[in-house]
Amino acid sequence: MKKRTSKRFGRLSLLQGAAGMSLLALASRSSAAPVPSQEARPNIIFIYADDLGWGDLAVNGNTNIFTPNLDRLASEGMNFYQFTVNNPVCSPSRVALLTGNFPSRFGVHQHFASPAENQKRGMPDWLDPDAVTLPKILKQAGYATAHYGKWHLSLAGAGKEAPEYPAYGYDDAAVYAWAGPNTRDVFTGTSVESKKGQPHEREPSAYLTVAAVENTLTFIEAHKHEPFFINLWIHETHTYIAARPEDRIPYKDVPEPEQTYYSAVTRADTQIGSVLRKLDELGLKDNTIVVFSSDNGPEVPNETPAAMTYYSRGSAGGLKGQKRSLYSGGVNTPFLIRWPGKIPAGKIDKTTMISAVDMLPTLAAAAGVKQLPAGYQSDGENMLPAMFGKPMDRSKPLFWKWNGDHSGNNWPAYAMRDGRWVFLINEDRSRIELYDVITDRDQKNNLFAQEPERTKVMQAAVERWIETLPKTVPVRLTAGGQAQSAPAPSPVVEKVQKIPVSTAQGPAAVRTNLFKKLDADHDGSVSFAEFLGARQDDAAASLRQRYDSFDTDKDGTLTEQEFVSAGKK
């Protein structure tokens, strides 16, 4: 579609300018509010979006989506182009952020699902409550701590077994997505409580962030005279993506499905603006660190209007890959950070290697924590000098493990970054790619053949790292109270086992076997990416038509029954 015109953004800029003037007036009226000393420990608010791509922000080059409050955050702080999360899907990405360690150290390789699915994946049913976490460290240092919005650090329907939020270091929490049974729902007690529901439902999904932000504003007001830490994990732009009439006003001339996606992003931006204004009103802006990022790259859209991901129209900003991929498009997400007077305003850093596992040691250092808990070793490091605008080389490499779907751009099973170099390798070690992501951020020039020694060294480092990962899941971390084995690392010589299909089998049995073969991540359904597999792009259109004809309930995935039944037609 065509780029958005500057005329429309001119009108919106005028509106934003007027809003800015009113905010200045409001700030001047509230000048009597107590202003913390610059020597005081800073408040910290970490805003984590969901499935938002690097290219979805205006400050990262998007000319279609209106994000004035994130623009403001960038203009008053720093924008790190090379920031990466530590897994290309939700739960493990959030585990890394919270603990300062690679999620595979806790056996968390994919999102927390049902006990049966977690057992198949060799995963626990929740994050180990004994883990060192950033809120635990800050609480011990005298901070008031809270978590609002998405949780997903435990299994779906965990019931009474899932740990409650105090086990992870929080004083308060109001969440959605499967916390313990006594944790307050994000809608409870808010002005939008009547919209209460699940994130996969149309109407509630448009109000989840509104509710989370209301809780955040209440907590800020209650703790304005003491240091506080808030994880604000917003819904946008995970499915279901919905937009209210008022959200659509700037995009009346934009066709679907982009209209709904753009509207949802701008709604989230508006809610973030509410948090920034509250800090202004209370005189807390100068002593509050505000961070904005996203848990992974954008979701792959489905062209069927009834599909859950039809409105998923996020942009990786030209980066290769998307959610579930270890290419940059899956793990290189937006990262903005503001701390007035400490972090340079309006600075863009295009080269510093920084990651989610760095947040625990970095923010703990910013809070004045002199020593991390005894025995704790972070996979991250204190990156405060870089955030203060000073040149800094990260000394530790980064590692990734992905054991989900390996079709298309999701083929890498492991990855490593060391300085400017990113190394990718598949399960059976038959495919390797190497990129210099400083000069080739879009990963178009594979240097594997030109850099044999570097490739050899990085592959050896990956293999050594794999050996450090846990091999079993403790009973205490499973809802069923059963020990289970983590998936064994793939040996160098491993090949994919083909499922034999006997000529004596009937058509239904043949299709059942074929379904199991296509179901690469063994989740009981076949996505279009799994259906497409390694087939060429020029066949994708016809295969999509065939796939959609099998999908009788039009939910964007194929069940075994749908797939087998299609063979009878």
- Percent of the chain past pLDDT 70, that is, above it, reads 83
Count CA within 13 A, CB hemisphere, residue 445. 10
Q: Please tell me the predicted confidence (pLDDT) of residue 527.
A: 85
CA angle 96, 182, 278 (to 5 degrees): 65
Distance CA 56, CA 247 (A): 17
Distance CA 360, CA 282 (A): 26
58 shares a domain with 196: yes
**Using an 8 Å Cβ cutoff, are 263 and 251 in contact?**
yes
Q: Which of the four pLDDT bands, split at 50, 70 and 90, describes residue 554?
A: confident
Distance CA 208, CA 234 (A): 7
**Using an 8 Å Cβ cutoff, are 323 and 114 in contact?**
no
Q: What's the first-to-final CA gap in the chain, in angstroms? A: 38
Distance CA 376, CA 339 (A): 27
- The residue from 393, 420, 452 where one domain ends is 393
Q: Which of the four pLDDT bands, split at 50, 70 and 90, describes residue 51?
A: very high
Lowest mean pLDDT, pick from 151-165, 248-262, 445-459, 527-541: 527-541
Q: Which of the four pLDDT bands, split at 50, 70 and 90, describes residue 56?
A: very high
The SS3 of residue 457 is helix
**Using an 8 Å Cβ cutoff, are 352 and 126 in contact?**
no
Is the preceding omega at residue 168 within 30 degrees of 0, hence cis? no
212 shares a domain with 358: yes
Residue 487 within any structural domain of the chain: no
519 shares a domain with 384: no
Is the preceding omega at residue 304 within 30 degrees of 0, hence cis? no
Buried b (16+ CB within 10 A) or exposed e, 198-229: ebeeeebbbbbbbbbbbbbbbbbeebbeebbb
Q: Averaged over 225-249, what is the pLDDT?
A: 97
Residue 100 within any structural domain of the chain: yes
- The residue from 377, 393, 409 where one domain ends is 393
241: tokens are 């993506």
Q: What is the CATH number of the domain that holds 548?
A: 1.10.238.10
Residue-wise pLDDT for 555-564, tens only, equals 788 888 877 7
Residue-wise pLDDT for 437-483, tens only, equals 999 999 999 999 999 999 999 999 999 999 999 999 999 999 877 65
Residue-wise pLDDT for 210-231, tens only, equals 999 999 999 999 999 999 999 9
Other CB atoms within 10 A of residue 9 CB:
17
Q: Which of the four pLDDT bands, split at 50, 70 and 90, describes residue 9?
A: very low
Q: What is the CATH number of the domain that holds 336?
A: 3.40.720.10
Residue-wise pLDDT for 323-369, tens only, equals 999 999 999 999 999 999 999 999 999 999 999 999 999 999 999 99
Residue carrying structure tokens 């038959």: 430
248 shares a domain with 388: yes
CA angle 473, 432, 407 (to 5 degrees): 65
Q: Averaged over 154-162, what is the pLDDT?
A: 68
CA distances from 198 to 195, 281, 401 (A): 10, 33, 30
Other CB atoms within 10 A of residue 120 CB:
16
**DSSP result, 54-81:** GGGSGGGT-SSS--HHHHHHHHTSEEET
**Can you count the helices (H) and strands (E) in the chain?**
16, 19
Q: What pTM value is reported for the model?
A: 0.80
Residue 111 within any structural domain of the chain: yes
Residue 61 within any structural domain of the chain: yes
Q: Which of the four pLDDT bands, split at 50, 70 and 90, describes residue 501?
A: very low
The domain of 167 spans 36-393
Other CB atoms within 10 A of residue 184 CB:
15
229 shares a domain with 81: yes
CA angle 307, 311, 312 (to 5 degrees): 100
The SS3 of residue 154 is strand
Q: Please tell me the predicted confidence (pLDDT) of residue 300.
A: 97
Residue 125 within any structural domain of the chain: yes
Q: Please tell me the predicted confidence (pLDDT) of residue 179.
A: 84
Among residues 473, 505, 507, 504, which one has the least CA distance to residue 112? Answer: 473
Distance CA 23, CA 26 (A): 5
**Using an 8 Å Cβ cutoff, are 335 and 293 in contact?**
yes
Q: Please tell me the predicted confidence (pLDDT) of residue 558.
A: 84
516 shares a domain with 380: no
Number of domains the chain is built from: 2
Pairing relationship of beta strands 558-559 and 525-526 according to DSSP bridges: antiparallel
Residue 85 within any structural domain of the chain: yes
Q: Please tell me the predicted confidence (pLDDT) of residue 41.
A: 95
- Residue 380 contacts by C-beta under 8 Å, 6 or more apart in sequence? 100, 101, 355, 356, 357, 358, 359, 360, 361, 362, 396
- The residue from 345, 363, 393 where one domain ends is 393
- Percent of the chain past pLDDT 90, that is, above it, reads 74
Tell me the helix, strand and coil percentages in the chain, rounded to 5.
35, 15, 50
Residue 35 predicted with pLDDT over 60: no
519 shares a domain with 372: no
Q: Please tell me the predicted confidence (pLDDT) of residue 486.
A: 59
- Residue 506 contacts by C-beta under 8 Å, 6 or more apart in sequence? none
Residue 109 within any structural domain of the chain: yes
Distance CA 21, CA 2 (A): 32
**DSSP result, 340-364:** TTTSPTTEEESS--EEGGGHHHHHH
Residue 546 within any structural domain of the chain: yes
